[in-house]
Structure 1
Amino acid sequence: MPTGWDRARDRVEAKALRDARLGAQEMFELVIDSIIEGVQNAVAEHAAHSTLRPNEGIAT
């Protein structure tokens, strides 16, 4: 039969696990956002130096 200390410890452990999962989710979202921003910046940089005009397409 769990004691009051056991139940308190279980609640603290469960909260720590929830917090860790939320922290991992936030970090994942930050990484994904950073990747998206990097790709967008690379595309914009390439477009700024491209000799193609908008809607011109690739010459064949």
Structure 2
Amino acid sequence: MSNTLRNYESDTPETCEAVERWQQGKINIFDEMARLERVYGMTPEQSLYNSWKEANQTKL
């Protein structure tokens, strides 16, 4: 599966590495969420809300 992911241009090496660690059972989803919060400065909920808000903006 990781080889498939590497074929997409939008996937970063970090994404592929995280998928591989998850597949091998070496990743804890709560630790990963905390890491992403530290890296990107927002909680998953904030990130989801921002994505939703962007997708639903009306153009006047």
- Relative to the length of structure 2, the TM-score reads 0.29
Query: Greater relative contact order: 1 or 2 (C-alpha under 8 angstroms, separation 6 or more)?
Result: 2
Please identify which structure carries the higher helix content.
1
